[in-house]
Amino acid sequence: MSSVIDWEAASNPVKENRAGNIGKAVDRYEGPLKVTGTAPYAYEVAPPSPPAYGVLVSAPIARGRIAAIDIAAAQASPGVLLVWTHANAPAQGPRPARYDFFTPAPRPSLDSDQVHYFGQQVAVVVADTLENATAGAALVNLTFEEDASSVIFHDHYAEGVQPPGESDVEIGDFEAGFAAAPVKIDDVWRSPLQNHCQMEPCATTAWWEGDKLTVHTSIQMVRYAQNSLAETLMISNKNVHLLTRYVGGGFGGKGSFYDDLVLASLAARELRRPVKIAYSRQQMMHGTVHRPATEMRVRLGATADGKLTAMSMMTTTHCDRRGNFTEHASNFARNLYAAPNRLTGHRLVRLDLPVASAMRAPGEASGTLSLEVAMDELAEKLGMDPVELRIRNEPPTDPETGKPFSIRQLVRCMREGAQTFGWDKRQPTPGQVRDGRWLVGLGMAAAIRGNFLLPAKASFTVDADGVITVKQGMTDIGTGTYTVLAQIAAETLGVPLGDVRVEIGDSELPPAPGSGGQFGAATAGSAALDAGMNLRKAIAEIAISDPASPLFGGPSEQITFQDGVIAIANRSERLADLIRRNRPDGLTADGEVRPAADASQWSSHTYGAHYVEVGVDTVTGEVRTRRMLGVFAAGRILNWKTARSQLTGGMIWGVGSALTEGNSVDPHHGSLINQDLAGYLVPVQADIGELDAVMLDEVDDKANPMGIKGVGELGISGAGAAVANAIYNACGVRVRDYPITPDKLIAALEAQGR
Amino acid sequence: MRPFTYERATDAAGAVTSAAATPGSKFIAGGTNLLDLMKLEIEQPAHLIDVARLPLAAIEDAQDGGLRIGAMVTNSHLAADARVRARYPVLTQAIVAGGSGQLRNKATTGGNLLQRTRCAYFYDTAKPCNKRQPGSGCGALEGLNRNSAIFGGSHACIATHPSDMAVALSALGASVETLSPHGEARAFDLDDLHRLPGETPQIETHLIAGELITAVVLPPPPSGGQVYRKVRDRASYAAGLASIAVAGDQVALGAVAHKPWRARLAEAALAAGGSPTEAIAAELAGASENGRNGFKISLVARLGPVAIAEARNNGSAA
């Protein structure tokens, strides 16, 4: 059993970093393939024989049932090979009462006549070409019996119930503490439903060879999908070979899988022919998952000198009627600031909407949009600098559990950020700085996101050319997994980066949980390091036992690995020569990582601070980000370039959350108004201006054997709040209903008579 | 996408002859809007006549001091033309405020005028839309109509025209030259090209079926300064929430109506000596809202006077 104590004590090649591979700005391993269009994404994989193409049909109502089905015209349409609705779809494993993220379970498609949300897939048409399948899909004639539906979250706040198995967390006596506080903040914020908008839609290419299924699909969790698909198809998971080598964005939306995977597999079996199915951009909006909207009430009570005495954050959110996903927007507040009296919790409203689920930094991304603005409001009320207010409420130990922090450098992030950004130039009174038609303001916010480690395995093989191959059932969803695994391998085995191959995204490789919750690099990388250490041991054993090796006789504990050469003092030979003589077919070692038994004794998070300068045109209500700096503490950084890209990507998402992103539900149809990327506005280059992310030189040796932590979700946490605070500093208006669009800003300005 | 046949026209006369002879045909130039709509099966042409290579891609000096812009001049080319930048800066500003660089490289002058609304209910084929499916109703009227029209809407349709370029052309008093399907050359004011929705929002222009826009003609620039201001949710590649083109004492509004909205009432008020604020208020007296688009009235009231003042300032600086 591994333990934090052991991790802290043990040195290893990643910590020592003798060749300097760790932390370096290494270009993406698969980058040339992607930019030359030669990395085959799931839909582009060439199957062994000509494929058929499936097109999904979506329900046009929010709630009801399919009352009548007429597929004759579709079946008779040119090229159509198969038309399925719930009436004739193959039998599949039964849908469980509830899903969770880690327990494999069947996800049957077209399994009932019930429609639970607008855009639910209700039929599939497979034809010889995509065009014929599309034409056939238009001829599927379904009659729906529509039931009354509840789709507008704001109309149903009062129906919020405690999420199953949860209770509010209260420390001390919040109400009494709040009532007694001389300075108070009590406001409500709203964040909208958001869509993941991955560049690559969900897509699958499937074929069968006998009773063995091969599927190339676009997902984040290999083993979970393999097992769940097997249960859906009611076959052994040994007969499901699932591959997901290149994923064009996941962000939590591909944490599970959808009807493309199930129906492509079933149709390929039925037709004895490979089948490809992809979601359209419009289908991605409704037919996958989304981040649910929230209503967040934050109450802060403080002394006149800025000590928080009471803090409460209560979030109401929504999920689909069959789901139990809760957007835990209040959770991060339990770990961020000291306050003796604390109350946090969630309420869940069930609606006839598409499925709510995890999206990049679930919890923090929405939650910081309220608390981190409330802190800004409190600072203003106290006449105190927002950075200073946060520093005054920095807890010495975890504010709820009292556990020691593994490491916490939030204050350092804030101080270094303030200095680099020029925070001292901020005018505490809003509306003081003008640049042409823009009022200019500065804002800041803190960032926090949990740290996680899950069980994972990996294998390393060295071949007769001295090339190391890393194998792991891990995914790279654009984050840099391929690259950091290669760096770990190169550093651990002392070979040039060019002598490392990485094979991931394959269910036949040693299992890893996949990408999500910013646990990917720590989890996959720690298992890889262990495999590398085991391969070193195996190589050393062979070397000291081989009379033909200069290293013969040892001592094995002094063996070094450098530049493809193994050596003991001045005796050395090329690694390739040793392997060629002794293991011409290659030598493999396995490795694994498990969460430490004592990990729960520490409070372990990643931290950061955002600083933003915005311009607000008070005539038009337009807001433009001018410059933005994030300073982050996330343990040892494996790759400066890919880590920074994830952080800046998160920061950009935060700008979108503050200013443009969100989807609205049509009150009559239960559909989302924005169904493409011309309507769903993610930031473009012109929205961002100057942007930088700085990573503190940090090591968290309690996190895992490498002392690293994740960065994929940290960057978004707090970023939008910093924008909102900058808007206030620019123009003196608070809009607490995100995104802060010109219509809302104009209304707020006009309410002030401006 | 439905199957269609395709031909590449080599001259304008051949293009309109073919259009007249082929039911269900449509012209395609840049295709930046039509292809999207075909993929969604909102447009289902049986036949495409590709006019992109017609010899209509020149910008010529007109004898009266204006410019004659061939219908196939791309948006990028037009915006970058030195004469346009010097004498019609409002047009350059409007064009570069629209779409993205890639779209402007493909989109043509004629096609830009004929692009269709971005109303979300028009795009979602599961929704009622009188423009897409006459008689089915209007989803926007009581729906999420933040982007809808505040001028000239009807109970059948409150969609807006999405072009930025056309707003500037309207303020500049441009006219349009066409070739009818019978081979007749016609010309009319740009303001007479587009229709208000009325009972037939599916009919968007006064062009005859198969009529081809061959050129846009700019009169000499009016005296006084020019400016185009567009307000949008994000800094680039976003539809306008409202826009305004000012050229001397001529004013047009964008993203507020089924057509580029020449603000004649505002112009009259300015001519009568009214202040910019009074002029815009005069125009907005005729505005109406449907709930979520009401902010556009405030927005135009705030933006309009500022833009007029900015144009005047540009004029006095020049």
Span A350-404, pLDDT tens digits: 999 999 999 999 999 999 999 999 999 999 999 999 999 999 999 999 999 999 9
pLDDT digits (tens, 9 = 90+) for A577-611: 999 999 999 999 999 999 999 999 999 999 999 99
* B135 at interface of A, judged by CB pairs closer than 8 A: no
Kindly tell me if the per-residue pLDDT of A1 is higher than 70.
no
Joined together, the tokens standing for residue A631 give 């300073």
Joined together, the tokens standing for residue B40 give 């969604």
pLDDT of the residue at A101:
79
Q: Which of B2, B150, B234, B306 to mutate to test the interface with A (most CBs of A within 10 A)?
A: B234
For residues A281 and A278, give the distance between their C-alpha atoms in angstroms, rounded to a whole number: 9
**Residues 27-46 (B) with a CB less than 8 A from some CB of A:** 40-41
Which residues from B are below 8 Å from A118, CB to CB? Answer: 126
Listed range (A8-12, A143-147, A577-581) with the worst mean pLDDT: A8-12
* pLDDT (mean) for A165-180: 98
- A80 closest CA partner among A271, A215, A278, A281: A271
Q: Using 50, 70 and 90 to split pLDDT, how confident is the model at A422? A: very high
In chain A, what percentage of residues exceed pLDDT 90?
Answer: 98
Specify the DSSP class assigned to residue B307: H
Looking up tokens 């506005």, which residue turns up? Answer: A681
CB pairs under 8 A between A and B: 94
Q: What are phi and psi of A693, to 5 degrees?
A: -125, 130
* pLDDT (mean) for A708-737: 98
Which residues from A are below 8 Å from B103, CB to CB? Answer: none
Angle at which helices A259-271 and A222-233 pack, to 10 degrees?
A: 50
pLDDT of the residue at A91:
98
Candidates A58, A739, A746; nearest CB to B299: A746
Joined together, the tokens standing for residue A630 give 């994030």
* pLDDT (mean) for A280-307: 98
| Contact check, Cβ <8 Å, A622/B146 | no
Joined together, the tokens standing for residue B146 give 């933040």
pLDDT of the residue at B237:
95
- Identify residue B150 by its one-letter amino acid code: I
pLDDT of the residue at A97:
87
Q: Cα separations (Å) of B271 from A567, B148, B250? A: 91, 29, 10
Range(s) within chain A of domains with CATH label 3.30.365.10: 13-39+454-594, 404-449+603-751
Q: How many CA atoms lie within 13 A of B132 on its CB side?
A: 26
- A547 closest CA partner among A569, A527, A510, A573: A573
- Taking residue A200's Cβ as centre, other Cβ atoms within 10 Å add up to 21
- A57 closest CA partner among A344, A299, A286: A286
Joined together, the tokens standing for residue A411 give 């204050």
For residues A386 and A390, give the distance between their C-alpha atoms in angstroms, rounded to a whole number: 6
Q: Which of A129, A661, A746, A750 to mutate to test the interface with B (most CBs of B within 10 A)?
A: A746
pLDDT of the residue at B318:
57
* B239 at interface of A, judged by CB pairs closer than 8 A: yes
Angle B239-B242-B245 from CA coordinates, rounded to 5°? 105
CB within 8 Å of A571: residues ≥ 6 apart:
A550, A551
Rounded to two decimals, the pTM is 0.97
Average pLDDT, chain B: 97
**Could you say which residues of chain B have pLDDT below 70?**
318
Which residues from A are below 8 Å from B300, CB to CB? Answer: none
* B276 at interface of A, judged by CB pairs closer than 8 A: no
Joined together, the tokens standing for residue A305 give 């000198």
Under a CB-based contact definition with an 8 Å cutoff, are residues A477 and A515 in contact?
A: yes
What's chain A's length in residues? 754
For residues A378 and A181, give the distance between their C-alpha atoms in angstroms, rounded to a whole number: 12
Query: Domain A13-39+454-594, what architecture?
Result: 2-Layer Sandwich (3.30)
pLDDT of the residue at B1:
77
- Taking residue B161's Cβ as centre, other Cβ atoms within 10 Å add up to 23
| Contact check, Cβ <8 Å, B236/A684 | yes
The one catalytic residue among A270, A698, A713, A750 = A713
pLDDT digits (tens, 9 = 90+) for B130-172: 999 999 999 999 999 999 999 999 999 999 999 999 999 999 9
SS (H, E, C) A308-357: EEEEEEEEEEEEECCCCCCCCCCCCHHHHCCCCEEEEEEEEEEECCCEEC
Distance of CA A140 to the CA centre of its chain: 36
Kindly tell me if the per-residue pLDDT of A641 is higher than 90.
yes
* pLDDT (mean) for A210-237: 97
- Identify residue A328 by its one-letter amino acid code: H
Q: DSSP E strands: which ranges in A129-266?
A: 141-146, 169-171, 183-191, 194-195, 203-209, 212-217, 240-243
pLDDT digits (tens, 9 = 90+) for A495-521: 999 999 999 999 999 999 999 999 999
Asked if the peptide bond before residue A511 counts as cis, ω within 30 degrees of 0, the response is no
Q: Cα separations (Å) of A60 from A45, A123, A326, A658, A671? A: 32, 12, 26, 31, 8
For residues A345 and A314, give the distance between their C-alpha atoms in angstroms, rounded to a whole number: 5
Q: Cα separations (Å) of B165 from B52, B58, B115? A: 19, 17, 11
Under a CB-based contact definition with an 8 Å cutoff, are residues A511 and A474 in contact?
A: no
| Contact check, Cβ <8 Å, B146/A668 | no
DSSP letter string over B275-302? Answer: -HHHHHHHHHTT----STTTHHHHHHHH
Residue in chain A lying closest to B295 (CA):
A743
A422 sits in the region (left: phi over 0; alpha: psi -120 to 50; else beta) called: left
pLDDT digits (tens, 9 = 90+) for A67-106: 999 999 999 999 999 999 999 999 999 999 888 878 899 9
For residues A632 and A527, give the distance between their C-alpha atoms in angstroms, rounded to a whole number: 25
Candidates A669, A687, A739; nearest CB to B235: A687
Which residues from A are below 8 Å from B298, CB to CB? Answer: 746-747, 750
Q: Cα separations (Å) of B39 from A43, A141, B4, B245? A: 18, 20, 12, 33
Joined together, the tokens standing for residue A543 give 């070397």
Rg over CA atoms, chain B:
19
Average pLDDT, chain A: 97
Candidates B118, B231, B239; nearest CB to A742: B231
Q: Which of A283, A438, A743, A744 to mutate to test the interface with B (most CBs of B within 10 A)?
A: A743
- Taking residue B199's Cβ as centre, other Cβ atoms within 10 Å add up to 12
- Identify residue A397 by its one-letter amino acid code: T
Q: Is A327 among the catalytic positions?
A: no
| Contact check, Cβ <8 Å, B123/A675 | yes
For residues A364 and A217, give the distance between their C-alpha atoms in angstroms, rounded to a whole number: 29
Asked if the peptide bond before residue A705 counts as cis, ω within 30 degrees of 0, the response is no
Angle at which helices A742-751 and A719-731 pack, to 10 degrees?
A: 40
pLDDT digits (tens, 9 = 90+) for A687-717: 999 999 999 999 999 999 999 999 999 999 9
* pLDDT (mean) for A192-209: 98
For residues A249 and A64, give the distance between their C-alpha atoms in angstroms, rounded to a whole number: 33
Residue in chain A lying closest to B300 (CA):
A620
Alpha-helical (H) ranges within A660-741 are: 719-731
Candidates B234, B236, B303; nearest CB to A620: B303
Candidates A673, A741, A750; nearest CB to B144: A673
The Cα of A676 is separated from the nearest Cα of chain B by a number of Å equal to 10
Joined together, the tokens standing for residue A15 give 């910590």
- Identify residue A224 by its one-letter amino acid code: Y
- Taking residue B113's Cβ as centre, other Cβ atoms within 10 Å add up to 23
CATH code at A404-449+603-751: 3.30.365.10
Residue in chain A lying closest to B128 (CA):
A669
For residues A715 and A361, give the distance between their C-alpha atoms in angstroms, rounded to a whole number: 9
